[in-house]
Structure 1
Amino acid sequence: MNQEQGKPIPWTRKLVVPMIAGAICGGLVAFATTQLFDTDWVGAAGPSRMFAGVIGALYVLLAVGVLVGAMSPALGEKYLQAEDADELREQQAMLVQSSFAMLAWGIGLFLLSLAAPVGPLAMPLVGIAVCVLMLAGIYFAWQSHRRSDELFAAVNSQATVYAYYLMFLVAGGWAVLAHLAVVPMFQPIDLITTFFVVALLAAFAAAGQRGMMVPR
């Protein structure tokens, strides 16, 4: 049990305060990213690339937050949903690998949003970097899964199922409506960004169903 001078940490500090702090940090990162895309350096990127950049930046923010908490359990127990610092120490290897995966994927998506011909970054270099980062993310995610205990392994499996059906619903439904000329067809980067958003939502949904989103 988390303790502070012999008393459990109040649920307001364990849940509400981290949520508010996370919302503020996320809002600042999103605002900074949109401001970047409004500069002359980026050019006329458009809403699809801007949204991809925001999602990539948020992935990086989440990855850094989890990584810091995993590497410093005494700090991490104050905002990560763990019973105490000892639990974070037990899960450290898994959380670090998971953070590396999210970091690689987030940077990859952010670079992709800045790629030429619309963006300022050279397309061949971005293509190579994104391929390396995506493969690195897959490697770290697999290493994280291998180090997961029974609960986290079950959450990973459930999140994968949720992501599959959500992608089928969102991307498939969008494609059907576009085929019927009800909505415009999505751009390739829209589909990639959708993968990222759906994966994150599925992970939170699976964790919430397993009771991992409440203070412990």
Structure 2
Amino acid sequence: MNGNTVYDCLTYRNENINLALEALLAGKMIQIFDSDSREGETDLVISAKAVTYKEVKWMRKDAGGLICVAVDPVAAKQLKLPFMADLVLEASKSSYDLEEVVEREGDLKYDSHSSFSLWVNHRETRTGIPDDERALTIRKIGDITEKCLSGNGVRFGDEFRTPGHVALLRAAEGLLDERNGQTELSVALAHMAGVTPAMVVCEMLDDYNGKALSKEKAKEYGKEHDLVFLEGQEIVEAYITWKSCD
């Protein structure tokens, strides 16, 4: 893939995309709504390398969903990050009960499989759960992703241990050509922005009805906090154009 940003080659002007890329380059938070036909959820999204305890607190208090780090598929493969479902299937060889609980085809109403990999803490953390310790783990995931993609020899286990408190998501090998989940949407945006493709995502939940925050309320929140709001389809269209650049 070339090193161009989407600015260099868009055949149409999508101000939302451009604003989102500028925000990511500046280490700021954005919002992504995947689609009504998938999860139908809005996530707060930020580059892993830009996260401090303040962003973890923000996601924990104002979003309320699961704080995860989506990792580029090339890096995930080089770091030997497994899919959690595959780990459980392997473990089921010695425990039939585990085979009963692993996700099967048709279990997910919005996709064929989940992206969950390991749950980790960085080895410099104590319990791993306080905001500052989760922020450290998240930044270090960004660091090791960058080192890995730069060709530096790294061993994931030298820096991280599992089980832990930060969930890793392994992006599909073909990114948006294969899957249009929050994992792939955020990593694709990272590539377009030219930032390290390790992205923090956290679902926005509604405090009053027990459901995901509606798109309308998520947009209102974004306006109040000066956040760029992107629809998944906007990202897909921009990514197609970006990939076609010479």
TM-score, length of structure 2 as denominator length: 0.26
Structure 1 or 2, whichever has the larger Rg, is: 1
Bigger share in helix:
1
Higher relative contact order (Cα pairs below 8 Å, separated by 6+ residues): 2
